[in-house]
Structure 1
Amino acid sequence: MSPLPSNPVRVAVVEDQPLFRSMLEHTLGNTPGLRVVVSVGTVTEATQRITAGTVDVAVLDIDLPDGNGIALGVTLRRRHPRLGILLLSAHDAMDLLLDLPGDVAVGWSYLSKTSGTSEEVLVAAVRAAAVGETMLDPALLARVAPRAGSDVARLTDRQYEVLRLIAQGLSNAGIGERLGITEKSVQNHVNAIYATLGIDVDPQRNPRVSAALRLLEESGPAL
């Protein structure tokens, strides 16, 4: 993962349920390196309060009383191209990330409110979004498998394991620690994954984000 910004990550919380919004404020506001600067419950309030240069990451509930968080995120990203987005939903809606317009598709993460997401995972997702990366809900990823005939299905078991950890926002060092292998071995697996999936290492695009989205695109419910 890219280095974290030296200044606190400024977070906007857009959640219409007061209790859940308060929990998000408390968790994120009490995490070193994060600061909640906006906390609102509607699309209207969010578009008014989230202005250029004031927020680094917007945590958006998908279901809002006057609109939806995805459309709000697209609007905010087009106004503020460096803004990271973390979507939250009570439903399994990860696939919606595949329908994002190409000009705003980088730097979105997704967590389910009902998957047992921990504070640690929430904070990691905010930090991933802050540096333009994608983190998908680990519990939801554990419930999917590659679709038959897809490029993802051509990966070895170890490569698929590494790909899922990439999609969870882990760095090569973090993956190595999780799997008990060297960072060099992880990089070899990553290179093989990119080759199998046809992902170019282009400095203008984040290949880890592309790999995470391919996993999402070419997977379905595990049988």
Structure 2
Amino acid sequence: MKKLIVLTGAGISAESGISTFRDQNGLWENHRIEEVATPEAWAKDPEKVLKFYNQRRKQALEVAPNAAHRALTDLERDYDLAVITQNIDNLHERAGTSRVLHLHGEIFKARSTQDPRLVYELDGWELKLGDCCALGSQLRPHIVWFGEEVPMMDQAIDLVQQAELFVIVGTSLAVYPAAGLVQYVDPSVPIYVIDPRQPNLRPTPNMKFILENASTGLQTLRKLINL
């Protein structure tokens, strides 16, 4: 089967009711990103950061995958599909997608502040001060914060270079290095960009823009690729 690689962003989760910060004047649930999503924020006030992500986790449990998530899962019947997501929720997995690479971490996991290789699945939605890893150090959200390296980037680049069809859904392509992944697509590979607001991309001959939201745009995509 042809390799279909899909890059998803906040726009696909927004249709399930998950808030995005870039639609709120740089605020995320009334918080400045610098206050809750940086290593400096964690060092200054870890309790505030934990509380913030506890609320995001609780919210993620209250929503369900939408038609766009299900549409991607349906594509597995006809393609060798892998999803690279900038989202930290688990909606792709809950919709049934088999291969999901989370560039920016996973909200339902925590990791050791002493050894980042120690990663744990969370049981429930709360992570508190005093919750420790096997080494006795505090657990932190398993999230790639602004200013941190993106450890899954090499794997993502490898997937993109294998693509025989590349689709971008629901992302403004404003956050690097994720936004740079499109540069690794072979020039002969068709690229479809689905977003109601056209991302700031330099158009290329192999690129087509579908100016629709994620769910309707993926329906349009299926018609264009005759499935």
As a proportion of its length, which structure holds more helix?
A: 1
| Higher RCO, 1 vs 2 (CA within 8 Å, ≥6 residues apart) | 2
The question of a shared fold, defined as TM-score above 0.5 by the shorter chain, is answered with no
TM-score, reference length from structure 2: 0.36
